[in-house]
Every structure is written in structure tokens, then in C-alpha cells.
Amino acid sequence: MAQPCGPLIDIVLSRVFDPAGVGTSRNIVRDLLSRSQQVVNGALESTLTNQAMNTQPELQVYNFERIAPANDVLRIKGVRDGTRDLSKSDFTRLKHISSRWFARTGRRFETFAVLGRGLLIVHPQQGITNSVNVIYVQQLAKLNAESDTVGLPDDQMPTLTRMVEALILLKQRDLTNLQVTIQDLTTQLQPSQMTVNA
């Protein structure tokens, strides 16, 4: 169940002994929550989405905007051709598949790679129109008001509030409490089992 960020701001401010928001304003804590939810989402892969993408003949490089609206894709986790998962490769290793990988045509897709923060390569290219399913971690919406809901699952709210608490402790130069908080975060930010939203 999604939670509004207002009560989370209260939790964080009480933990850093500033319930009135004198040292750190509520707007700053809301901004830290907004940014930190992206970090937690990226680390724990909370919002995996499965989206169909049409491929074009003689083309193997696709902009992320072909998969989903701009800024919706945080990280691509996998690509499926029907029920078959394509192998993931680093862009720099595509040359090991073939020195002419860019012009190579095949009967079925075998590999995918991500180039930068906006390009997906599905290799080899095909001579026909086809489609693949792209599994990606979805970018969460920015928190603009205290009534906006945080896009993480309830079980990840403690991790989110601890991360914001750590940032405020760093701002306050409270290094003793910061060290304890960072040790807690290290164990909490371990990737969980992959679940996909259909």
C-alpha cells in the first residue's frame, strides 16, 4: 500500500531530534525522500515492469522512449523473445560476438546490451518486424507535496527513512550516529527476489 510522504517526514525529523524541522526544513526532507526513493528502488529493484517493444527490420539500436515514456526507464534488467530470455552483454563485448556485429542479421534475437542511459541494443537484427518484452526498473515519480505517495512497497519504507536519516545526520555532522545508520543501510540494501509487474 502506497504511503504519503508527510508521515515519513515526521518519522525522519523525530529520529534526528528535530521534530519541528528547524535545522532541516520539511521541504528539504521531502526532496531527500524523493531522491532516496530512486536509490532504494534501483538497489532493491522494487518496481519491475514488463513492457512489449516492437522491433523494426534491419534495426537493432532502440531509444528507451520506444519502450516507455521519457524518463520512465531507470535500468533495463532483461529482454525476452517470447519465453526465451536473451543473454545480456556489455556494449564493449559485442565485438567478441562478431567484429561486424552492427551489420549482422539472424533468424532470432540472441543478445541485448545497454548503451549509456538511453539506448537498448537487441542483437542480431532481423529482416522482419518482430517484438520483444523488455523488463525494466521503473523510475518513480517525484514527490512534490506531502500528500504525494511514495512508490515503494511498505516493507521498504524503513530502508527509505533510514537513508534520509543518514543524509541529515551527515548534514548535521553527527558522525557517531551516522556510522550506525550506514551499517544498518548496508544490510538493508541487498537486492531481493525478482518480481515482475505484468
Phi then psi for 128, rounded to 5 degrees? -130, 165
pTM: 0.76
- Summarize the confidence of residues 20-47 as an average pLDDT: 92
Q: What is the pLDDT of residue 52?
A: 92
Parse the chain into domains and list their residue ranges.
Answer: 3-45+144-188, 48-138
Output the nine-digit C-alpha cell for 82: 517470447
Q: Categorize the per-residue pLDDT at 194 as very low, low, confident or very high, splitting at 50, 70 and 90.
A: very low
- Quick check: 135 pLDDT over 70? yes
pLDDT single digits (tens) 138-176? 999 999 999 999 999 998 999 999 999 999 999 989 888
pLDDT (0 to 100) of residue 191: 57
Better pLDDT: 1 or 107: 107
Query: In which residue are the cell numbers 533495463 written?
Result: 76
Mean pLDDT value of segment 83-88: 91
Check residue 101 and give its pLDDT: 76
* Residue 70, pLDDT score: 66
Q: How confident is the model at residue 36 (pLDDT cuts 50, 70, 90)?
A: very high
pLDDT in tens, 101-133: 777 788 888 889 999 888 999 988 888 889 999
Report helix, strand or coil for 124: coil
Q: Is 108 exposed, middle or buried (0-12, 13-18, 19+ CB in 10 A)?
A: exposed
Residues 41-68: pLDDT tens digits? 988 888 899 999 999 988 888 998 888 8
Specify whether the CB–CB gap between 146 and 30 falls below 8 A. Answer: yes
Mean pLDDT across the stretch 5-28? 92
Beta-carbon-side half-sphere exposure of residue 49 (alpha carbons within 13 Å): 17
Our CA angle for 169, 173, 178, nearest 5°, is 45
Q: State residue 185's pLDDT score.
A: 85
Of 188 and 73, the structure prediction assigns the larger pLDDT to 73
DSSP E strand boundaries for the chain:
3-4, 48-55, 61-63, 73-81, 84-85, 87-88, 111-115, 119-123, 130-138, 149-150
Determine the Cα–Cα distance for residues 76 and 114; give it in Å rounded to an integer.
8
Q: Which amino acid is at 93?
A: R
